[in-house]
Structure formats: structure tokens, C-alpha cells
Structure 1
């Protein structure tokens, strides 16, 4: 049973999250202020932290920074602040994802499941691929040796840039990548590339994926931030 630490100063929200996570089969611990979070993480085992940004005692970004100094535990930042700089700073500090208030508890549970699946993927055999990302209904398989991609076992023809973009997004489903982060990873020769170029490639990638998975928007945009892959 995975153990989730909920750090949230609003008691009703914390209790609601704990109830939904418990129904999904997770053990939970709740903390309402930030002062003791780092020492608690040092002394207890947790698989993932739901970490509010605005906390009494010590703020979420400071806690995230301090935890990353000694642990690679998965962290989902929970915040009502949608400023781009806060989002990017959180990701640079090692946060795996962001959830903005108000949110659906079911969405939080889905995000938790996605990240924990990535951390502890199920054992698979007979898959001749470098990357295989799965959820209940969507499977993305990427072979970086020959740049072949399949969605739910259906081949999809991608350009090298489209393949690399999908490869980056699939390496951490649910994580938000800014346009600048995608540029740095796709174009490693330091060429000058505009953010509109990334938008254009993402648009073409989406069109090809949607032709196969018409019911699900796999590559989703996050307003003023960037893109993420959502496996539903």
C-alpha cells in the first residue's frame, strides 16, 4: 500500500483528499503546516507528497527545495497561484506535477496513480521497445532505436522532432513541460528556436495522435505554462 503525505492547511480539503485516496487504496498522513514536514519525510517513508504551496510556518517551494536535497520522492504541488514563474520554479526544483485549486479530488487521485505507476511500473515481458507508458485505456510505446511509435498498438508515423517531443512527454506522464524546456531538450545544438515552432510541432503531433485516439486528448496544453501527456 503506497503511503501519501498530504500537506494542506485547509482541513476540509485535506480530509477530502484523504477520503478519496483511501477509497483508491492508499494510506495517508495529513499535516496542516510546513514547519515539521522536512523532518517528518526524513523519519518516515512516503511514496508521494501532495504539497500545498501556501502553508503556515514554511512555504511549499522551500519545503520542496529542502526535500530534494536528500530525497527523490515524488511531489505534486497543490496551489491556487497560477503564476507561470511559480509553476516553472516548482518544476525546476523537482516537483513532478502541479494541481491548481479548485480541483476535482478524482483528478488528484488520477494524477497520483499516474506518477506512482511511473515510479513503480508493472513488470512486462516481450515488449521490444525502449519506453512503454500505460494506463487503463491508453498505451504509448516508443522505440528510440528506429523512431517507431504506437498508440494502443496502432502505428503512428512521426517526424523526428514529433517523436522526440512525444518521447519527452511520455517520460513523465502528467508532468508539465514548458516550451523552453522542450526547446532545450529537442534542439541540443543551441540553435535559436521560437516557442511558436514548438507550438506548431505539438499541433501536428496532436493531430496524428487524435487520428488514432479520437476520444482522448493525449497531449494537453496548460495555459501560459506548456504541455503535458495525459494517459486516461
Structure 2
């Protein structure tokens, strides 16, 4: 799968390494070194994917993410320092599809890019045995893991890669209560630099996109003191702490 990828990274050495790896995999890569140039280049020639560093001159990566997300559903992979948790959470809140913390493995970065490209091109996937990977249905919600698509009734819902991973895990086991740690392990594996707050951000964004009233969620329900569960929206009462009458 060859793609046109925009790399926005002010560290010239890191940008060169990323570009070489991308070209080795058959992609074309354009490199810019500040946020303003990233926005201009993405508008001039829309890429298939953007690799975006957070700490950049002129315009920072978070503002780049905010600006471009308003204009398109371009897949965005954010690069951030290990200690910049707030930047990470803000990036996810602004619509970034995935992220990696620095320092990172170039091979792992290429693997993440391949995953995002596959999800952004669902028509390239051929579903030969649909019974082995069925559409997940929870009430009016439908999640298709192969096509990376979500519908709520007749409405198509656009999700980031992180939001989709969380929703898919929960849709595969409706009514099951997941702790934040369990959702992290299902969606991120042993990435020790990811915190449970990441799950809270994804759930908050999912509620904004799925719930008729995000302030009173009927589908993505909080189980106080435990975590979250996905329901079909027909629960009569909100979940209560154990022992409460």
C-alpha cells in the first residue's frame, strides 16, 4: 500500500530517518519543519496521512491538528515526549488518530502507519469470509471491524483510530464492565507510557459522537468506581456503586 505522507518534524535528523523509512516502504514523503508549513502543504497537496510532532515552531502540532481536523478526516499520527501527558490527551481530544511517545522505534512507527492507512482505505480490504469477522451490533449501534466503519441507526459515525479500538472492544462484549486498565491493555497492549486518562478522553469523545445527550449517557455508561460498559440504550437506571439502594 503506497501512500503520500506528510511529515511535520522540526528535528531535521528525526525527520530524515522517518522519510528514509517511508521511502523504503514505497511511500512518497514530504517533510516540513514548522506547523505553518504543515498546514499550507496539507492544503496544497492533501496527504494520505500526517505524521505530526507536537513541539514545533511558528504553529505547534496541537494547533495544526485542530486546524486540519476541521477541514478533513486526514489520518493524523502525533509524536510527543513521554512526559507530555497533557499534550497527548489534548491531541486525542482534538481528533488525532494515534500517537507515539519519544523516543520510539522507527519500525514500530512504520507499523502504526500501515495500520492507519489500512483503516483509512476500507475499500481496499476484501471480506472473503464475513462469518469469521461479523459486524458487531448493540442496539442501534453497528461496528464493522473489517471496514473500520460505525453506524448509529442510519447515521455514519466518523471515529479516530483510538476511539474505534475502544468502541470495538466494548461492542464485542456488550454489558460487560471494563476497567480503564483493561481497555488500555486491549487497545494499547504493554505501552507503559499510556495512562488511564487516555481512555477517559476516548470515552468522552465517543459520547459526543454517539449519545443524544452526552451529559446523560445511555449507551457508554459509567459504572462508578469500576469503569465503563456499552449498553443498547435501554437501561432503566444508571449504574450505582455496590451497596447503594
TM-score normalised by structure 1 residue count: 0.63
Q: Equivalent residues in 2 for 1:92-111 (5 A)?
A: 92-111=93-112
Specify whether residues 162 and 2 from structure 1 end up closer, same or farther in structure 2 by C-alpha distance, changes over 3 A only.
farther
SS at match of 1:160: coil
Q: CA deviation at 1:69?
A: 1.5
**Kept after mapping to 2: 8 A contact 1:180/1:195:** no
Offset at residue 45 of structure 1 (A): 2.5
**Which structure 2 residues correspond to residues 186-205 of structure 1 after superposition, within 5 A?**
188-189=217-218, 192-194=222-224, 196-198=226-228
Q: Distance between the aligned counterparts of 1:164 and 1:125, measured in 2?
A: 31
Mapped pair 1:132 → 2:148:
no
Correspondent of 1:179 among 196, 200, 211: 200
Q: Distance in 2 between matches of 1:180 and 1:45?
A: 27
The offset of 1:163, in angstroms, is 9.5
The count of residues paired between Structure 1 and Structure 2 equals: 171
1:196 CA displacement = 3.6
Counterpart of 1:188 in 2: which secondary structure? coil
Give the equivalent residue in structure 1 for 2:120. 119
* 2:175 pairs with 1:161: yes
Task: Please list every run of at least 4 consecutive aligned residues from structure 1 whose deviation after the TM superposition is greater than 6 angstroms.
Answer: none
Q: Are residue 86 (structure 1) and residue 87 (structure 2) matched?
A: yes
In structure 2, what is the equivalent of residue 224 of structure 1?
none
TM-aligned CA distance change 1:93 to 1:19, over 3 Å: same
Q: Assess if the C-alpha contact under 8 Å between 1:9 and 1:33 holds in 2.
A: yes
Tell me, in whole angstroms, the C-alpha distance in 1 between the residues paired with 2:27 and 2:108. 15
- How much is the aligned-residue C-alpha RMSD, in angstroms? 3.3
CA pair 159-14 structure 1, distance change in 2 beyond 3 A? closer
Tell me how far apart the structure 2 counterparts of residues 26 and 106 of structure 1 sit (CA, whole Å). Answer: 15
Map 1:9-24 to 2 at 5 A: 9-24=10-25
1:126-152 Cα distance to aligned partner (Å, 9 max, x none): 414212349xxxxxxxxxxxxxxxxxx
Aligned twin of 1:46: 47
Q: Matches of 2:49 and 2:42 in 1, distance apart?
A: 10
With structure 2 as the length reference, what TM-score do the two structures score?
Answer: 0.60
Q: Secondary structure at the match of 2:55?
A: coil
